[in-house]
Amino acid sequence: MSTYSYRAVKRNIGRALHKYDMISDGDNIAVGLSGGIDSLVLMWFLTERLKRIPINYQLFAVYIDPGFEGGFAKELEVYCREQGYKLRIDYSDCGIVGHSEENRENPCFLCSRLRRKRLFEIADELGCAKIALGHHKDDIIETLFMNMCYAGEISTMKPLQTFFNGKMMIIRPLSFIDKDSIEKFAEKKQLPVFHNPCPTSGTSKRHEIRTLLKELYQTNRKIKGNIFRSMNRVRTDYLLKHV
């Protein structure tokens, strides 16, 4: 495994954890595993860092199976058992409902919303006040553009967000890390690749935004960093008032 890729990912996870005070001693944390490399890398690092820090916390991996044929829940279960992870699998119909005839316009939104609701419920059952998700820098930028283009508002996901009057908290320790760095680390670490059975995984609105941004980044390597920094440098005096 490349020392550079390990140090780069570890450093940026550490930056996010400390800047937003994401994890405290004694925390019970539900880690949302999607089967993608982002959440697998997150689980690997949150587990690995327990060996080198003076605080202790418990991790509970949670996978919400969306109900599509050809799912990988059993393979994920084997992998987590081999790694020593505590895994909870919830077999749901979130994907089926999200892709129903009545919801053809935006299946991803409903599926994601239903899975998030179930994740909150399971975290509460497990006694976890915090949920760790594998969203990274590219996800945050893409969400900003998705909300502008499709919701008509300027907003995005935050590295730390509280819900239910502070009862539950979502943390995103990968917030300062590029997708490319995560992929390189996962490749060096030889993390497994699970096939996404979602029928719209390559044709979603997020995929369209991702393609647009990729083309934009190729014109100037500073653009991604500038977009990311701009979300912390909002000049409200130069934005429109409600119209």
Among candidate residues 130, 177, 170, the one with its CA nearest the CA of residue 16: 177
Structure-token match 């119909």, residue found: 93
- Phi-psi region at 84: left, alpha or beta (left = phi > 0; alpha = psi -120 to 50): left
Whole-angstrom distance, CA of residue 150 vs CA of residue 141: 14
Take residue 181 and report the two structure tokens written for it.
């760095």
Spatial contact of 90 and 122, defined as CB atoms under 8 Å apart: yes
Q: How confident is the model at residue 195 (pLDDT cuts 50, 70, 90)?
A: confident
pLDDT at residue 79 greater than cutoff 60: yes
List pLDDT tens digits, range 154-181: 999 999 999 999 999 999 999 999 999 9
Among candidate residues 145, 157, 156, the one with its CA nearest the CA of residue 206: 145
Q: How confident is the model at residue 225 (pLDDT cuts 50, 70, 90)?
A: very high
- The predicted pLDDT at position 105 comes to 67
Q: Once rounded to an integer, what is the mean pLDDT over residues 9-37?
A: 96
Least reliable range by pLDDT among 25-29, 36-40, 122-126, 239-243: 239-243
pTM of the model: 0.93
User: Hey, what's the torsion of the CAs at 65, 129, 124, 92, to 10 degrees?
Assistant: -10
- Which domains does the chain possess? 3-238 (3.40.50.620)
DSSP assignment string, 104-152: -S-HHHHHHHHHHHHHHHHHHHTT-SEEE----HHHHHHHHHHIIIIIS
- The predicted pLDDT at position 96 comes to 84
List pLDDT tens digits, range 56-74: 999 999 999 988 888 899 9
List pLDDT tens digits, range 103-162: 666 777 788 888 999 999 999 999 999 999 999 999 999 999 999 998 899 999 999 999
Q: Could you tell me what percent of the chain has a pLDDT over 70? A: 95
Spatial contact of 145 and 154, defined as CB atoms under 8 Å apart: no
- The predicted pLDDT at position 197 comes to 81
Q: How confident is the model at residue 3 (pLDDT cuts 50, 70, 90)?
A: low
DSSP assignment string, 175-188: TTS-HHHHHHHHHH
Whole-angstrom distance, CA of residue 71 vs CA of residue 198: 9
